[in-house]
């Protein structure tokens, strides 16, 4: 165990991009050349993160001047059941796959305390696609087990952005497909706007993190389980490199957002669906509904597209779709690669209460046998 742990940690260091390894080593002795930014006059607010598909309390329109928004995340390495018969040696931000969603406003400062508890085996860091410089913060946040780090960056671009672990070399894709990916949403200070620049608000926000897993099978075709994350690496690497996932899921497991865990809404409610995929393309589709306003690439300085049937999420990005439910019933929110939706797991359900509108749809004739045919 110790040998493997040492070997893996060594591998992470050696295989890291030179610049990254250098940054990690230089970190302790690092003397900033520029003067630290004086943010002493800014108000601070601390946000407690909540597990997806939910999002912590937040304002849609920023209340006053930019603030420093404090978050804290603990990295948790643990085995996670991802299907009836499959377990993943997972690596997580704050214990969930995907990692929790953070919400701030444009101009705010994100200040994250990242903790790598001593009972973890591996080094981790965080690369915010929303941040500028130092590999998105990755070069400044590489923490060994038993260490913590604090990163502050300015949220300059409004939109939904992926964050993920990127501790160097082949550790990068592995940590991401093991679950270390999440989303930050940076709202315009005056909130979201439609295609004509009018302010729009949402009644609920759901955060759908999509992950694909590569879980090896044994000779008899059963999914293999491993003693720890390190033991799972060689088989997983081989499977990953074939690019054929064993599971494609929302919220970390097959069925994580169905049945008792189905999302809820009501007719007349506007729901913002934020969808992220850290590694691979996806194509969300709401069966029976639409995207009224869709920021497909997730960046709010661009006009939203309207009336979409399916939208495209590039691997390594997060997008947002606003939809007002008009009809009650059960909706399936899927990755419209339907093989991935139905056979590999990428299906969520939205249970919508309200009154049926026969103008929008009516059953004129229920399935009936045709006489004489």
Q: How many residues bind another protein (CB under 8 A)?
A: 43
Examine residue 267 and say whether the peptide bond preceding it is cis (omega within 30 degrees of 0): no
Q: Does 330 bind another protein (CB under 8 A)?
A: yes
How long is the chain?
373
Q: Map residue 258 onto helix, strand or coil.
A: coil
Please give the Cα distance from 269 to 248 (Å, whole number).
28
Decide if residue 271 touches another protein (CB under 8 A): no
Active site residue 91: no
Estimate to the nearest angstrom the gap between the alpha carbon of 59 and the chain centroid.
20
Query: Which of 219, 244, 365, 373 lies at the binding interface for another protein (CB under 8 A)?
Result: 365
Site residues for another protein, window 222-261 (CB under 8 A)?
Answer: 222, 254-255, 258-260
- In this structure, are strands 347-353 and 263-266 parallel, antiparallel, or unpaired? parallel
Q: Choose the binding region for another protein from 7-15, 189-197, 306-314, 357-365 (rule: CB under 8 A).
A: 357-365
58 labelled catalytic: no
CA–CA distance, 321 with 316 (Å, rounded to integer): 17
Nearer to another protein, 118 or 363 (CB): 363
Secondary structure (3-state) at 179 = coil
DSSP 8-state assignment for residue 303: P
Q: Is 217 in the site for another protein (CB under 8 A)?
A: no
Is 368 an interacting residue with respect to another protein (CB under 8 A)?
A: yes
- Binding test (CB under 8 A) with another protein, winner from 49, 130, 162, 334: 334
Element holding 177 (H helix, E strand): helix 171-177
* CB closer to another protein, 243 vs 365: 365
Pair 181, 209: CB distance under 8 Å: yes
Instruction: For residue 208, list its beta bridge partners.
Output: 275
**Of 91, 106, 124, 340, catalytic:** 124
Q: Which of 171, 285, 347, 349 is catalytic?
A: 285
With CB under 8 A as the contact rule, the residue among 35, 243, 364, 373 that binds another protein is 364
The H or E element spanning position 21 is helix 18-26
Per the residue annotation, which of 175, 247, 275, 349 is the catalytic one? 175
236 as an active site residue: the answer is: no
Binding residue for another protein (CB under 8 A) from 62, 115, 139, 346? 346
- Whole-angstrom distance, CA of residue 208 vs CA of residue 54: 9
Is 180 a catalytic site residue? Answer: yes
The residue within the footprint of another protein, chosen from 23, 24, 55, 83 (CB under 8 A), is 83
Let me know if 105 is a catalytic residue: no
CB 248 within 8 A of CB 344: yes
Minimum CB separation from another protein for residue 341, in Å?
A: 6
Q: How far is the CB of 309 from another protein (least distance, A)?
A: 15
SS3 state at 160: strand
Q: Which of 180, 258, 292, 347 is catalytic?
A: 180
218 binds another protein (CB under 8 A): no
Contact 302, 326 (CB under 8 A): no
Q: Which stretch of DSSP H or E encloses residue 10?
A: helix 2-15
Q: Which residues are catalytic?
A: 124, 127, 129, 164-165, 175, 180, 285, 309-310, 336
Residues that bind another protein (CB under 8 A): 83-85, 220-222, 254-255, 258-260, 262, 287, 327-332, 334, 341-347, 349, 351-356, 358, 361, 363-369
């Amino acid at each position: 165990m110790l040998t493997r742990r040492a070997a893996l940690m060594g591998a992470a260091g050696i295989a890291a991009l030179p610049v990254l390894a250098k940054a990690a080593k230089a970190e302790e002795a690092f003397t900033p050349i520029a003067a630290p930014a004086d943010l002493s006059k800014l108000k601070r607010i601390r946000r407690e993160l909540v597990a997806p598909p939910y999002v912590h309390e937040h304002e849609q329109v920023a209340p006053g001047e930019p603030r420093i928004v404090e978050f804290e995340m603990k990295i948790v390495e643990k085995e996670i059941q991802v299907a009836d018969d499959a377990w993943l040696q997972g690596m997580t931000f704050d214990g969930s796959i995907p990692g929790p969603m953070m919400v701030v406003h444009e101009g705010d400062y994100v200040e994250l305390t990242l903790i790598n508890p001593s009972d973890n085996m591996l080094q981790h860091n965080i690369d915010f696609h929303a941040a500028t410089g130092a590999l998105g913060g990755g070069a400044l946040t590489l923490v060994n087990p038993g260490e913590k780090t604090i990163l502050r960056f300015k949220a300059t671009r409004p939109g939904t952005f992926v964050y993920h672990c990127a501790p160097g070399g082949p550790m990068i894709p592995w940590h991401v497909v093991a679950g270390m990916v999440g989303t930050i949403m940076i709202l315009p200070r005056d909130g979201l706007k439609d295609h004509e620049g009018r302010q729009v608000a949402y009644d609920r926000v759901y955060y759908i993190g999509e992950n694909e897993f590569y879980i090896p099978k044994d000779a008899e075709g059963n999914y293999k389980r491993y003693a720890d994350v390190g033991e799972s690496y060689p088989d997983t690497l081989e499977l990953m490199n074939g690019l054929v996932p064993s599971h494609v899921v929302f919220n970390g497991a097959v069925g994580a957002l169905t049945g008792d865990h189905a999302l809820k809404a009501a007719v007349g409610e506007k729901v913002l669906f934020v969808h992220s995929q850290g590694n691979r393309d996806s194509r969300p589709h709401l069966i029976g509904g639409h995207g009224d306003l869709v920021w497909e690439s997730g960046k709010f300085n661009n006009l939203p597209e309207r009336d979409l049937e399916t939208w495209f999420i590039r691997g390594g990005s997060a997008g947002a779709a606003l939809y007002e439910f008009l009809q009650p019933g059960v909706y399936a929110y899927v990755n419209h690669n339907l093989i991935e939706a139905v056979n590999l797991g990428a299906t969520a359900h939205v249970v919508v209460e309200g009154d049926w509108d026969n103008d929008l749809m009516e059953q004129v004739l229920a399935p009936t046998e045709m006489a004489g045919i």
